[in-house]
Structure 1
């Protein structure tokens, strides 16, 4: 059985509802969706999915504990809830245990924009399938200043194989116990130093895929230039038609609201008039089932960049205990 996976807790409730609604519209009501619990805070989600028979929360505690222990052994600092906002992000790895033989993982801050048939079809030939341009910036995956990096992976692989962990297709069972133990032995022998420190599970997943040498495929590198599309809200040139985005005439597979923080989304959904890229599209899917609850903005529009800068400053000040 094939299915869609995501990772969420109540903090990203609004993004999750938008994602589920986009899946319902674009992919249909029958495709199963498994939500991996980021942490224990999932009561709001549980109440919502009672009305969504194709959606369920992953409850295999043995699997969850298995990957918690793996992350603890691979990168123990990442589980520090006080230090890392993405302390539970590794639980997406539970998808490699089940429940789907083939799956597509989507971050909660994504929206489906097109059929995923091409991704599932590609999984007949490849073990890992992505569609993004992260390979253009290895600094968000690996510690490029580490002399060990090019001892582990040659430069061509570093510049061509890395990916964003917000959207990928893969298969059940590709990281069995022997593979996990082998990966941990390499990491604990010193290779952990090549991982970028500033992101949750993304560097580790890249390492896992590349170190095992599995057959991976990136549509963004393989499609002809006149067919490939972007996927990130940082691209400002997408055109919307019938609640779907296009890139120079080509329909996007998905859109990733990367960098738009959950707190900002909550504030917008509460009625605060803050700009962010492709906001109307997000709000359409967020309130698709309850349009009467969609916020009506009465205040002047606030710049997303200004709000983000203020939030960053406040976080820095809090860390310095100045405010």
Structure 2
């Protein structure tokens, strides 16, 4: 069975509803969706999906606990991560709930597409699922432009493990990918953990904890991967990030130079921003109307009127300048 997965808790409720509605706009309620819980704060989500028979909240506690333990063991083997996190005011483990997306490898779908809660689906996913007939890992993003947010580029071990070509071609963003159930079993996880504990953990980038581990798992295991961003022609390719200002909207779908986007990723925007807008605060941000359309798709009468003068989401710096500097991956 094929399905779509995401990761959420009640803090990203408004974004989650928009994502679910964007999926439903394309597939109706025929596409199964599984939500992996970031933490136990999911009461609002649980109440909402009662009305969505195709959506489930993952509750396999053995799977959740095993992945939680795996990730803690990974970071326990890192030479500097925990010291760094504690200096910036974090707990011993940083954003540990983000790793629960890994539960999809144990989850209900034989093949799945994972989408972050701050994305919206713009096109059917059949090309992604079809490519999974040839590859075990399928992505469509431009993270390859910025190695520094995937691995510790200064780690000497990095060049020992991966060739420059592999680093250029195979790194990816953890916000959208297609894969399969069971590709990382207990034996593989144990093998990778031993490698990390033997010194390979030094290559991990500790401020993107789920992204760096996921890239390591895919690349170190040697499974076959495919990135549409490397394969499509210049006339076919589209961007995916909110930092791209040139997308055109037609009937609540975004297009890049005439080509329909696969998804839009509101990367770099705080979940609090979306909550404030949904509460009626008139804050402007790129592609806000697209988000609001899908957020209130099934209840348009509840859409906030936003009658006051809009204020920019960040008066100190533009979205493009701030996020492009941070991520260096939008086109």
Q: What band does the TM-score fall into relative to the shorter chain?
A: over 0.9
Q: State the alpha-carbon separation in 1 of the partners of residues 32 and 307 from structure 2.
A: 39
Partner residue of 1:60? 60
Map of 1:317 onto structure 2: none
Report the TM-score, using the length of structure 1 for normalisation: 0.92
SS at match of 2:156: coil
Deviations 1:112-156 (A, max 9, x none): 000100000000000000000000111110111112211111111
Displacement after TM superposition at 1:305 (Å): 2.7
Partner of 1:46: 46
Measured against aligned partners, the alpha-carbon deviations of 1:198-225 in whole angstroms (never above 9, x if no partner) come to 1130011001000011100000011111
For 1:229-244, what aligned pairs fall within 5 Å after superposition?
A: 229-244=238-253
The aligned counterpart of 1:98 is 107
Aligned residue runs from structure 1 range 178-189, under 5 A: 178-189=187-198
Larger mean Cα displacement after TM superposition, 60-69 or 78-87: 78-87
Q: Report the Cα distance in structure 2 between the residues aligned to 1:287 and 1:85, rounded to whole angstroms.
A: 33
**What is the aligned counterpart of 1:205 among 180, 196, 214?**
214
Residues 14 and 176 of structure 1: CA distance in aligned 2, closer, same or farther (over 3 Å): same
Q: How many Å apart are 1:82 and its aligned residue? A: 3.7
Measure the CA separation in 2 of the matches of 1:70 and 1:147.
24
- Structure 1 contact 27–114 (Cα < 8 Å) conserved: no
Q: Distance in 2 between matches of 1:130 and 1:270?
A: 34
Q: Distance in 2 between matches of 1:306 and 1:202?
A: 29
**Separation (CA, whole Å) in 2 of partners of 1:279 and 1:30:** 27
Identify the residue that residue 327 of structure 2 maps to in structure 1: none
Deviations 1:15-36 (A, max 9, x none): 0000000000012211100000
Residues in 2 aligned to 1:257 and 1:308: alpha-carbon distance in whole angstroms: 17
SS state of the match for residue 201, structure 1?
A: helix
CA distance in 1, matches of 2:152, 2:68: 23
**2:321 — aligned with what?**
none
Structure 2 counterpart of 1:254, from 255, 263, 267? 263
User: Is 1:33 matched up with 2:33?
Assistant: yes
Query: Deviation of residue 308 (structure 1)?
Result: 7.4
Question: Are 1:275 and 2:284 counterparts?
Answer: yes
> Aligned to 2:236, what secondary structure does the other structure show?
coil
CA contact (8 A) 1:123 1:129 kept: yes
Alignment match, 1:303: 312
- Residues 31-81 of structure 1: per-residue CA shift (max 9 Å, x gap): 100000000000000010010000010111110011001101112468989
- Structure 1: unaligned runs, 5 residues or longer: 310-323
- For the 8 Å contact 2:74–2:201, the answer to whether it is kept is yes
Give 1:145's aligned residue: 154
Query: How large is the RMSD of aligned CA atoms in angstroms?
Result: 1.7
| Corresponding residue SS for 1:231 | coil
Q: Is structure 2 residue 301 aligned with structure 1 residue 292?
A: yes
Q: Give the counterpart of 2:175 among 166, 169, 182.
A: 166
SS of aligned partner of 2:154: coil
TM-score after normalising by structure 2: 0.90
Shift of 1:306: 2.1
